[in-house]
Structure 1
Amino acid sequence: MTDPAENPAERLVDLLDLEQIELNIFRGRSPDESLQRVFGGQVAGQALVAAGRTTDGQRPVHSLHAYFLRPGRPGVPIVYQVERVRDGRSFTTRRVVAVQQGRTIFNLTASFHLPEPGIEQQLPMPEVPEPESLPKLADEIREHLGTLPEALERMARRQPFDIRYVERLRWTPEDLEGAESRSAVWMRAVGPLGDDPLVHTCALTYASDMMLLDAVRVPIEPLWGPRGFDMASLDHAMWFHRPFRTDEWFLYDQESPIATGGRGLARGRIYDRAGRLLVSVVQEGLFRPV
């Protein structure tokens, strides 16, 4: 049997497999990594798992709205307390509070709905190169720097997603000339995630927080290199439109309509390779000069 610590995809599934310690209370692991704070996508994904575990499993998630209230501490377990707000004929609503060391660090409201027949329309997927024609993120960094720094090498080995930027990375201020506040990446889990739809939804929730705020930074500073800003996610909202698998390629198309007052807003649309719009995402982040 493969050790999940050696397989990033299995490690992600393991991370999302919460321990139930009471009827509506779950505990999630928080890996002891050399990070200043727990990755927000991890907390959001685990909270959604907790919410889903208290439903009958027949209604998929259709939306979530969340706030990041305090930074989580790596290596310390997080307890998720679920409130069963409503079980209606068409919708199920859950509220989740994430607590670490006695303090609330995150809260989430999730709604579940069995899709019904109705109108059909969507914005088309932008025309972009196929993922196989693009370099892996680690390879692109290695090509530019001549080698991959040890810290990035460790991160690349543990990264549960294959990430490929549609446009080549910008490395210098000159590269930013004419850059719009947009970014797009192809992504997929680096290995199979099983067949539980809730796991795929929560894994995509994890991934959705990885780089959405890139779109805010694109016209301001190179994405890879020393940062001029300390960044933190403030809130996060997602709408799930269609079933999907997170271990298959999806395009994460992102844009930022505005950054002002120390905050930047980003919007994302996630498509499958057939051009079907799967998920819509909105996030606001805090940007403070270092």
Structure 2
Amino acid sequence: MTTSNGTSGTVGGTLSAAAWHDLRSLLDLTPTGADRFSAPATMTGHRTLFGGLVAALAVLAAGRTGRPGQLPHSLHAYFLRKASDFPFLDIRVHRIRDGRAFAVREVEVNQEGRTLFTMMASLHAAEAGDDWYEGEEGGVDDPATAVTVQPTQRLRDVGFPFEIRHVARPRADGFVPLHPMWLRHHRPLPADPLWQAAALTYISDLGVVMDARPPGSTLPHDFVGTSLDHTVWFHRPVRLDDWVLMESDPLNSSGGRALSNARIRDRSGRLVATVLQEGLHRRVD
């Protein structure tokens, strides 16, 4: 069977493991009613879904209920439960507000009657105004000279569809963060700006909660990190089938929760998105 976006890899509405290496297959929504969509089940055998995928599907669903020209400019979300890797996802969009320039949507992602993820997203039709962003404080290796790294076992399990080039350096306590890193989708992606915003949302959850480990932490290097809440501001359009640089720094750690700030830039250094994420940090035992 061929998906609606022209890619192959579904069997009776269920994604095969091979399809997980192509974001075009992962972000394949099927309308099931008024402002309601379903996403295909998977056959990865990993038992859980990557949180960035759940968020990306929610962004795509929200954007499809807006008017032409309206694109996500911010989202605020909570990860409530882990998503299983097999049953279908049921995505419901609630229209909170429709203005002349802005639209606000509330999105619920459910699975077998349980709410996994909730999100408020604001859509905006871009207007004329200043074009300014804070520049980078220090340079990093260009993607052409950066070291290509193999995905971690977890990323291999979920079929992570992006090439990664790692430019991170070990911290003083020996902990090696995931960021900064260059990412690029393995294959060309649709030019649709909404689709690209969903692709950016997909990577916005990658490693942020782990890199929130504070300097000099008493946590072992193999601690457990779980995303709790997630905020993304979309500043400028970007193509995720070209290289983007993702950086992340810890901001706060208290009560078992850690907060991190991430920035995503295109190859020219333009700031395309800002991410704030709080996560739960626990020892493996």
TM-score normalized with structure 2 length: 0.85
- Matching residue within 83, 87, 100 for 1:76: 87
Does the CA contact (< 8 Å) of 1:182 and 1:218 recur in 2?
no
Tell me the residue number matched to 1:120: 131
**Per-residue deviation, residues 76-109 of structure 1 (Å, max 9, x unmatched):** 1110111011110110111101111111111011
Tell me the residue number matched to 2:161: 160
Deviation at 1:188, TM superposition (A): 1.1
Say if 2:183 is the partner of 1:187: yes
Q: Give the total of aligned pairs.
A: 269
Q: Which amino acid aligns with 2:144?
A: E
Greater relative CO (CA pairs within 8 A, separation 6+):
1
- Matching residue within 276, 280, 286 for 2:280: 286
In structure 1, list runs of 5 or more residues that go unmatched: 142-150
CA distance in 2, matches of 1:87, 1:111: 10
Deviation at 1:56, TM superposition (A): 2.2
Tell me the residue number matched to 2:145: 133
Q: Which amino acid aligns with 1:129?
A: D
CA distance in 2, matches of 1:254, 1:152: 20
Tell me the residue number matched to 2:72: 61
CA change 1:167–1:153 in 2 (3 A) is closer
Say if 2:262 is the partner of 1:268: yes
Q: Which amino acid aligns with 1:193?
A: L
CA distance in 2, matches of 1:218, 1:181: 11
CA distance in 1, matches of 2:177, 2:121: 29
CA change 1:219–1:165 in 2 (3 A) is farther
Does the CA contact (< 8 Å) of 2:259 and 2:277 recur in 1?
yes
Does the CA contact (< 8 Å) of 2:75 and 2:120 recur in 1?
yes
CA change 1:231–1:178 in 2 (3 A) is closer
CA change 1:129–1:218 in 2 (3 A) is farther
CA distance in 2, matches of 1:185, 1:47: 25
Q: Which amino acid aligns with 1:115?
A: A
Question: Secondary structure of 2:232's partner?
Answer: strand
Question: Secondary structure of 1:242's partner?
Answer: coil
Does the CA contact (< 8 Å) of 2:47 and 2:86 recur in 1?
no
Tell me the residue number matched to 2:201: 205
CA distance in 2, matches of 1:213, 1:47: 20
Question: Secondary structure of 1:217's partner?
Answer: coil
Deviation at 1:176, TM superposition (A): 4.5
CA change 1:14–1:245 in 2 (3 A) is same
Trace 1:103-114 onto structure 2 (pairs within 5 A).
Answer: 103-114=114-125
CA distance in 1, matches of 2:65, 2:116: 21
In structure 2, list runs of 5 or more residues that go unmatched: 1-5, 10-15
Q: Which amino acid aligns with 1:130?
A: D
Does the CA contact (< 8 Å) of 1:181 and 1:256 recur in 2?
no
Question: Secondary structure of 1:45's partner?
Answer: helix
CA distance in 2, matches of 1:112, 1:61: 4
Tell me the residue number matched to 1:148: none
CA change 1:182–1:73 in 2 (3 A) is closer
CA change 1:135–1:233 in 2 (3 A) is same
Question: Secondary structure of 1:213's partner?
Answer: helix
Tell me the residue number matched to 2:37: 26
> What is the percent sequence identity of the aligned residues?
39
**Per-residue deviation, residues 123-143 of structure 1 (Å, max 9, x unmatched):** 10231110111122118x8xx
- Matching residue within 231, 237, 241 for 1:243: 237
